[in-house]
């Protein structure tokens, strides 16, 4: 049985909205929640489109970007580069969130399912 991805948070430039999955991740410290919000909103303000941080049981934490089909101003290359830069810049935070997901949400000992 394949488990589905679980959204941690996301930001949408088109709707000017931020989403945080309070039901699954409400116990995270407020400082972490604020850092995620700033990170996501600044990302979409910079490149447009939408950014979602999703957990995949096998792949871990993923930064997913998307845009409207007719958005000619969306910077697709910039979004990929910015996502990679965020992964490097926020490596410690993202790794800690992934560990939290594996231990608290999945109830494992911290290892990825694929390993």
- Torsion, Cα of 64, 86, 83, 57 (10° steps): -30
Question: What pTM, to 2 d.p., does this model score?
Answer: 0.87
Tokens 């979602």 belong to residue: 52
Reported as a single tens digit per residue, the pLDDT across 47-100 is 999 999 999 988 999 999 999 999 888 988 889 999 999 999 999 999 999 999
Least confident of 3-12, 34-43, 89-98: 3-12
Report whether pLDDT(2) > 60.
no
| Partners of 50 in the β-ladder | 12, 66
Place of tokens 């993923």: 62
Output the pLDDT for position 112: 59
């Amino acid at each position: 049985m394949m488990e589905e991805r679980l959204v941690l948070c996301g930001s949408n430039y088109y709707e000017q909205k931020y989403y945080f999955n309070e039901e699954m991740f409400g116990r995270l410290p407020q400082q972490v929640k604020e850092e995620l919000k700033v990170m996501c909103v600044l990302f979409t303000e910079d490149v447009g489109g939408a950014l979602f941080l999703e957990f995949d049981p096998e792949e871990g934490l993923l930064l997913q970007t998307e845009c409207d089909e007719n958005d000619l101003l969306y910077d697709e290359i910039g979004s990929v580069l910015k996502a990679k830069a965020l992964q490097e810049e926020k490596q410690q935070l993202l790794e800690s969130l992934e560990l939290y997901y594996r231990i608290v949400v999945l109830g494992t000992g911290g290892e990825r399912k694929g390993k």
